[in-house]
Amino acid sequence: MSTLLSRPLAFSLALVMLLPTARPQQQKTADDITPTIQVEVNLVNILASVRDKHGALIANLSKDDFTLSEDGQPQQIKYFARESDLPLTIGLLVDVSASQANLIDIERDAAYQFFSQVLRKKDMAFLISFGEDAELLQDFTSSPHLLQAGLEHLKVNSGVSGPMPGPVPTISQPRGTVLYDAVYLAASDRLMHEVGRKVVVLITDGIDQGSRLKIEEAVKAAQKADAVVYGIYYVDPSAYYGHGYFGGVSDSALKRMAEDTGGRVFHVSKKHPLPDVFRELQDEMRSQYAITYTPAHEERDGGFRRINLRTRDHNLKVQARKGYYATAPEK
């Protein structure tokens, strides 16, 4: 899928370059070699947030407060942690299509503050913009300054020409906002081989126009990468008025991607500006429960396994991914 990027980026090569360089080893005799036993453990990781009926985050639960099942069969929680210090990898995907032109400066400033506050020493982030195509503006880094430099390159990327480009799809405008392609790229090419907690943050008005992939493929890629998708629904009404299209703007695609992966959708408004949304997102990511179990169904046939994580207190609502694909590990 790297061909979807507007400038050539060898994603697979970048992954290889991130691996530690092999060190020369002294030759060992047969007597020096100790037999080893390799055991493959099939573990399923879940990141979960819990809220009360007023929407407040609950961060003081224990393992015994949860019940877990897979495909209707009860499962035993093997590992459990509150406010996990597991490394956090964030992919920020920013919509730079024509409909977002007036919002880019606000997004740039708020995103920099977010990165400055949320990233810790072991955390990493990358930045992708998407419009007519997707572009990697900054690869993995823990430096807010490098991310700020990447944010400075946010600019409108639209295939529409003319003095008043609008977001309305037309025959002459076959590609405008490759939302699903961008999510697929972030999940499959960036996050698939990362460890720890993995998050995709989308800033967009939720419209996909021109992706080569469908939303199902984007969701599946995120689920396979164990990545949680958070949507930040940010609409500029002035971009749609006069084009007869504002009634079709919806957060339904964002909700589907978020709910299927264990995330949620935040709405930006005058009373709820983007900096406040980023603060809420930061609080949520730092208040998650990390839950791991070994599934009773051990066969890795590539099928989808449905997860049901609940609390014993029925007044609390759990936000977690709905399932995973039982694929065999790569050799």
pLDDT tens across 131-182, in order?
A: 999 999 999 999 999 999 999 999 999 765 333 344 434 334 445 799 999 9
Write the pLDDT tens digit of every residue in 43-72.
899 999 999 999 999 999 999 999 999 999
Confidence at 13, pLDDT banded by 50, 70, 90: very low
Structure tokens given for 162: 């003319």
Q: Is residue 321 over pLDDT 50?
A: yes
The residue with greater pLDDT, 191 or 176, is 191
Count of alpha carbons within 13 angstroms of residue 145, beta-carbon side = 0
First to last CA, the chain: 22
138, β-bridge pairs = 127
Structure tokens given for 112: 């920099």
From the list 307, 132, 274, the residue with the least C-alpha distance to 201 is 274
48, β-bridge pairs = 289
CATH-assigned architecture of domain 85-162+169-285: 3-Layer(aba) Sandwich (3.40)
Q: How far apart are CA 144 and CA 164, in angstroms?
A: 35
Lowest mean pLDDT of 27-31, 131-135, 286-290, name the range. 27-31
pLDDT of residue 159: 63
| Helix (H), strand (E) counts: the chain | 7, 14
196: DSSP letter: S
From the list 227, 224, 129, 212, the residue with the least C-alpha distance to 175 is 212
* The residue type at 128: I
Mean pLDDT of 183-187: 98
- Residues of the chain within CATH 3.40.50.410 domain(s) are 85-162+169-285
From the list 15, 194, 212, 224, the residue with the least C-alpha distance to 91 is 194
The residue with greater pLDDT, 30 or 118, is 118
The DSSP result for 59-86, as a single string, is ----GGGEEEEETTEE--EEEEEES--S
User: Structure pTM?
Assistant: 0.81
Q: Is 279 exposed, middle or buried (0-12, 13-18, 19+ CB in 10 A)?
A: middle
**Residues 198/183, Cβ–Cβ less than 8 Å:** no
- Which element (helix H / strand E) includes 130? strand 124-130
Would the CA dihedral through 212, 248, 233, 273 be positive or negative?
A: positive
